[in-house]
Structure 1
Amino acid sequence: MGTVTALYRYPVKSMLGEAVFAVAVAENGFLGDRAYAVLDETGAVGSAKHPRKWGGLLGCRSHLDDTGMVRVVLPDGTALPVVDPELHARLSKLLGRSVIVSAAVPEHSRLERAVPEYEGGVPDVVRESASVDATGASITTGSVAPGTFFDFGRVHLVTTASLARMRQVYPTGDFDARRFRPNLVVDTDAGPGFPEDAWLGSRLRVGEALFRVVVPTPRCVIPTLDHGELPADPGIMRAVARVHRIPVFDLGRLSCLGVYLDVLEAGTVRVGDTIALEQTA
């Protein structure tokens, strides 16, 4: 049915991550993925979904070194381990307020999201409850998935077919997969389209691991922001909203690209592994 063309993990939430050739997959997703997050004194979890407050995190890169330690490379090139107090001080200066890097999820965590102007960026009922914060941004506030720093699904998959379809819709747009912060990028050997829409509820075998396809991935503002060498492109999500608003649970029709997966069987996944659908009974 297709093959894995790229694997990514993001050891610190909302920082740039790293491409890997192989990764161990456990119940909670890719080993080392979203193991840490930046927290401020209010308990807010750092997320570039609120770019005026946390956008500076996308100027940093996190990776696992050969010993398994997570290290952060700051915009000036300085590399520090997450356990180094100097990293907390540097990030506090970068973001303009006191923050720490933590592996402990706050009991009452808060995740803030900027509300996009285009329709389908957030559910209508959520848009109606938005408020303007001290940055002047209209935001909504929710929480992370219990006990984790994931927004929802443990693994995020994007197909090359969906990216190809969006390039047809918006030819001047830069639909590099990294904008969408996937864990898995898969080539389905199909033409432009959204083949993953038909996978919902199915089981997906990828290498040694088995996943359940849970729900389409609603997109936020993050794909429009600059990601390292990828420049900002505000038209990216407007294009997705024009052509691919689909039902998500009972939240209405939202702008989606990719799907969230849950892990059913652990195992190692490698670039080049085949993918295959296993229909549920």
Structure 2
Amino acid sequence: MERIGALKEIVRHPVKSFRGERVQHTKLMDYGLYGDRSHVFLDDTRPGKYVTITQCPKMAQYEARFAGLDNTEQYPRVEVRSPNGIVYDWEDEALKLELEQESKRAISPHSYTPQHIPFGALEEAHILLVTDASVRELEQLWGGHIDYNRFRPNLFIQLDDPVPFVEEQWLGRRLRIGAAELELNSLCERCMIITVDPDSGERDASLLKTVVQERSSNFGVYASVLKTGDIEVGQPIYLI
């Protein structure tokens, strides 16, 4: 077992495609971070599909957080801050109407339980992780500052030995954080979502072009949960 770094930031997204919240500690559940993508907007124009940044880039500028303590029986109230600074409750009809106008489609809010979130809501796997060294190297390749939130990771890792893209060599191995364990499953193939600036909502296709050309479209690593447990910022991370 080898220490490879520390957990620099934990980011969960209570609402799918909204900007996430940084938390100091939370639980790793069977499906991933507690409450991650637990609240979604269903696309009524495409039965069985979700509304995401792909259909509505403005969603990247909405911020969602749990306004209360983690509870495995029932989620705390979800609070949403719009790009205009208006604070909504998740159940506010005004939030739904605003997003219908932005997305130009009929939508329906839906939420899952703390015990289960389906695969589709969680993207490709339970957890997405990104390292600080890889973000810095991509900044050099692209030629500008990058807010790592563009990549929507759950775990942001500070490496002891800052080797860019070393996480791609971990596939098939496990990471231990406290009592929790993850298995590294696959590379994350990037799409247009990373072209959307989470602050301004503006698109810049050049970042995706750089990732395609320099990293064969991949950035970050997907992992599945092998052992649940509490995790917190600052904990050491071990490669098994």
> Could you say which TM-score interval applies, normalised by the shorter chain?
0.7 to 0.9
Question: Do the aligned residues in 2 keep the contact of 1:173 with 1:233 (CA within 8 Å)?
Answer: no
Letter in 2 for 1:62: A
Q: Please point out which of 140, 144, 161 is paired with 1:168.
A: 140
Q: Distance in 2 between matches of 1:188 and 1:12?
A: 29
Equivalent residue, structure 1, for 2:17: 14
Equivalent residue, structure 2, for 1:126: none
Q: Which moved more, 1:213-222 or 1:35-44?
A: 35-44
Q: Distance in 2 between matches of 1:104 and 1:22?
A: 21
Equivalent residue, structure 2, for 1:199: 170
Compared CA separation, residues 17 and 174, structure 1 to 2 (3 A): same
Equivalent residue, structure 2, for 1:45: 50
Asked whether 1:87 is paired with 2:95, we answer yes
For residue 100 of structure 1, report the CA deviation from its aligned partner.
Answer: 2.1
For residue 54 of structure 1, report the CA deviation from its aligned partner.
Answer: 1.5
Which secondary structure does the structure 2 equivalent of 1:149 belong to? helix
For residue 268 of structure 1, report the CA deviation from its aligned partner.
Answer: 1.2
For residue 95 of structure 1, report the CA deviation from its aligned partner.
Answer: 2.2
Task: Please list every run of 5 or more consecutive structure 2 residues that lacks an aligned counterpart in the other structure.
Answer: 70-75
Q: Could you state the TM-score of these two structures normalised by the residue count of structure 1?
A: 0.75
Q: Deviations over 1:182-231 (max 9, x none)?
A: 00000122234211111101010023311000101111111111102586
Q: Please point out which of 58, 62, 81 is paired with 1:56.
A: 58
Q: Deviations over 1:44-64 (max 9, x none)?
A: 31111x2xx311211211111
Question: Do the aligned residues in 1 keep the contact of 2:60 with 2:201 (CA within 8 Å)?
Answer: no
Question: Do the aligned residues in 2 keep the contact of 1:225 with 1:232 (CA within 8 Å)?
Answer: yes
Letter in 2 for 1:2: G
Equivalent residue, structure 1, for 2:72: none
Q: Distance in 2 between matches of 1:25 and 1:75?
A: 30
Q: Distance in 2 between matches of 1:214 and 1:174?
A: 28
Q: Distance in 1 between matches of 2:136 and 2:239?
A: 21
For residue 93 of structure 1, report the CA deviation from its aligned partner.
Answer: 2.4
Two-structure CA RMSD over aligned residues (Å): 2.0
Equivalent residue, structure 2, for 1:188: 159
**Residue-pair matches, total:** 226
Which secondary structure does the structure 1 equivalent of 2:183 belong to? strand
Q: Distance in 2 between matches of 1:192 and 1:277?
A: 15
Equivalent residue, structure 2, for 1:239: 210
Question: Do the aligned residues in 2 keep the contact of 1:211 with 1:265 (CA within 8 Å)?
Answer: yes
Equivalent residue, structure 2, for 1:33: 36
1:218-257 aligned at under 5 Å gives the runs: 218-228=189-199, 232-245=203-216, 255-257=217-219
Q: Distance in 2 between matches of 1:229 and 1:205?
A: 36
Question: Do the aligned residues in 1 keep the contact of 2:129 with 2:221 (CA within 8 Å)?
Answer: yes
Equivalent residue, structure 1, for 2:68: 66
Which secondary structure does the structure 1 equivalent of 2:122 belong to? coil
Asked whether 1:267 is paired with 2:239, we answer no
